Chains A and B, each alone.
Chain A
Amino acid sequence: MNSSANSLNKQIADFNHSNKKRRIRDFFSAGSTYLFSSFSLIALIAIIVFIFSKGYSTLSWDFLTSDYRSEIVNVETNSEVTVATNTFEYTPGDNEYFASNWGISFVDSKNTEGNSIVLVKYVDSKANTDSWINSSSQDPFTLKEGDNITSAQLWTSNDPDTSRVIVVSSSSGAEKMCKGFAECSYLKTMTITSKGGGIRGSLISTLYLILITMSIALPLGIGGAVFLGVYADTLPTRFKKIANILRSLIDMISGIPSIIFGLVGGVVFLTLFGQKGNLITGGLTLACMILPIIIKSTEEAIRTIPKNMPLASLALGASQTQTTFKIIIPNALPGILTSALLGIGRVIGESAALIYTSGTAIQDYIIPTQGSASLAVHIWSLMSGDNQNIEASCAISIVILFVILFLSLLIKLLSMKINRYQKGK
């Protein structure tokens, strides 16, 4: 009696011991899943925080709409001059110098190449700049905040015989330039370099790429998806094999790395469309790349259409063609839109294939028959040189991320619309 109780106690103790061990093991293995899944989440948060913190200050409307290349504008005064004699009130900040007779303040800065420049920080609304004209176009010129003054020739008075000439340039710094402006009341000539570093050209070339890619890939992809989703099932068995081969060939496209597409696209399309890489060749290459995405998504949408809809259409006397164009394609429209959005997302983010086919040169004036960098390639060229410009790259990344976020939200909404059929059942 006693011995059996003892053994029972021992068993219970054993069980408790092993249970404790098991609990500890469970705790650690379950904890490891928490740990590792937080790892990928942390990575995502780190990426977003980094991109936004670095790029936020650079991102502005000017950044989106200005040219990449800085432009040089020569400014002169026309003959009926007004001499700056007013006094303007302004309290300059730190390291800011204010010429009170002109109403303009200057500040030291550095451009994207790291050279020191002098920027206009503040222009009074009544500042004496009415008589300034752009010497090449003879249009009136207005000085704006953020303009980069490279050099200026100033006279103390309008009379060439008696006046003293002072020449100031950006290399002498903001303080000296301000002194020169403050001493003189008459501006003879001035050279202004516009800011540059904007991404307008890359934005437009990305839009061009999307347009070219979609206008080729969508018709082809939808056609392929309609054949595979509608006609392939009705084929006789020996032709079904062909359809399956076609399908697996299309699936294989998505397994090819984009750099290979770039190489081949560069050779095949360049022999057809000119010697140097341009937007058309880039778009055609991307169209080949996104075909499987479009076909897969569209075919899936076609397959979610309830079978009785096309059957009812056929039973009512419509031909197969009419059924395809009037029942199947309109009902697969959310899926087609999803595929188009997925494709656009891919085009915006693609870089390796475009480096070969549309070049890495950043352009301001976009012609489709000329090579031009898209947004992603713009980042690549900014980062691959000797002077890496992380701020501008992050600013472009914010633009790309926003577009992608917007696209994925749209896709989510559309997929809810596709799922409506399954819910209705």
Chain B
Amino acid sequence: MQEIKEEKNIKKAEQKSNIDKTVKLFFLLLTSVCAAVIIVVMAFIIYKGVMPFIKSYTENGNTGTASLSYFLTGLRFQNGFDSTTGQFLYGVGFLVVNTLFLNLLAAIISVPTSILTSLFIARIAPSFLAKIIQSGIDLLAAIPSVIYGVFGIGVIVPMVKSIARNVFQISSASGISLLSGAIILALMSIPTMISVSVTSLKSVNEEMVKGSLALGASKTQTNFKICLRSAKSGIFAGIILGIGRALGEATAISMVCGSPTYGITTNIFNPTVTLTSQMLLALGEAVTDSLNYDIRFSAGIVLMLIILISNLILNDVKDHVSAINKKPLMITRFVLYTSNLFKKLSQKFKGLKDSSNELIR
């Protein structure tokens, strides 16, 4: 009787462990599905984005592929059909430059603002004020980008217009411009930057702060020279995150930046068109599987590459300036590596020459 009971128990335990295993596998499956999203997205973007340069499309009675050289350097998004080479001319080169310029301008506004604000929140402000500003920033982060766009059209655009007309005497300025876009973009990326850098500023080693104060530095000196420096890498991480967000922003930019069809915008009071806003533009007219639609995927690849490269560069700078594991810049590393390589090669070559000389002798 006892044995039978024990056997039953063992069987039950085995069943239990089997159930455990299947449940575990099930959860693993769910996780893999989640992780597969990124792979599917990347695969589709690359597959669809490469297609315009391989497959031939028919548009307005012409048949051909898209020209890769024009795509990378072109100054007009849609420049018709080149009958001599039999290729469609779609360009995003100017969009890349515009995007980078816009984001640079936005970063010039947002980076100092977010660094100083996070220093204020983490170190300087009395706690109630810090709480108020912190929750204000949290609210700013939660506001969707279309509302920023509406705000931009209603407030920023008229403001920029009046500045351009009254201060800079540009009578043709409409306010829908690069500068408006940069201001809106800066506003949108500030909350992301602040939330990361505040955390790192709050976790600065207190002993270091006290040491600085004991050495006779004033509170403000300590804040600027000790806290900011030791939280450098966290602040940089925030900046990287914020710029990554800003690069991918589409709707607000398309609302306040206008839609010129060609050219690099250098005057900050002129309208500009970026990669993302071009991807949204005239989407309704584009039919699925047409070249006009698929070329947006190619623009998507370019956008992802920009985000990736800017992330890499900024990360590299972050490693370079960070207090703990300081690294030389990637360019310096590259130059050093290549010069070493050359040295080694030349030495080898010299040795070869010497030995050949000896042989000849």
B41 near A261: Cβ-Cβ < 8 Å: yes
Q: Which DSSP category, helix, strand, loop or mixed, fits chain A's interface?
A: helix
A221 near B34: Cβ-Cβ < 8 Å: yes
* Of A83-91, A168-176, A389-397, the one touching chain B: A389-397
B34 near A260: Cβ-Cβ < 8 Å: no
Q: What is the interface size of chain B, counting residues whose CB is below 8 A from a CB of the partner?
A: 83
A47 and B136 in contact (CB under 8 A), knowing A231-B28, A257-B250, A380-B251? no
Question: B292 CB to closest chain A CB, in angstroms?
Answer: 13
* Of B55-63, B146-154, B160-168, B352-360, the one touching chain A: B146-154
B40 near A394: Cβ-Cβ < 8 Å: no
Is B31 an interface position by the 8 A CB rule? yes
Give residues 98-144 of B contacting A (CB, 8 Å).
112-113, 116-117, 119-121, 124-125, 132-133, 136-140, 142-144
A51 near B303: Cβ-Cβ < 8 Å: no
Which of B48, B150, B155, B279 contacts A383, CB < 8 Å?
B150
Is A149 an interface position by the 8 A CB rule? no
A264 and B45 in contact (CB under 8 A), knowing A33-B120, A51-B147? yes
Residues of B within 8 A of A288 (CB): 37, 41
A220 near B303: Cβ-Cβ < 8 Å: no
Is A228 an interface position by the 8 A CB rule? yes
Residue of B nearest to A353 (CB): B250
Quick one: CB contact mask for A304-330 with B, threshold 8 Å, 1 for yes? 000000000000000111001000000
Give residues 284-343 of B contacting A (CB, 8 Å).
284, 288, 296-297, 300, 303-304, 307
Q: Which DSSP category, helix, strand, loop or mixed, fits chain B's interface?
A: helix
Residue of A nearest to B241 (CB): A255
Is A256 an interface position by the 8 A CB rule? yes
Residues of B within 8 A of A275 (CB): 288
Assembly CA distance A261 to B297 (angstroms): 11
Top 9 nearest A-B pairs by Cβ distance? Answer: A257-B248, A349-B144, A223-B30, A227-B27, A26-B220, A36-B116, A249-B35, A33-B120, A37-B117
A to B CB contacts below 8 Å, 26 in the list: A22-B218, A22-B221, A26-B219, A30-B223, A33-B119, A33-B124, A37-B116, A41-B133, A51-B147, A51-B150, A220-B30, A220-B33, A221-B34, A250-B34, A250-B38, A256-B304, A257-B248, A267-B48, A268-B40, A320-B20, A321-B20, A349-B146, A350-B144, A394-B154, A404-B142, A404-B144
Beyond A47-B151, A230-B27, 4 additional pairs, beta carbon < 8 A = A39-B113, A54-B154, A220-B34, A397-B150
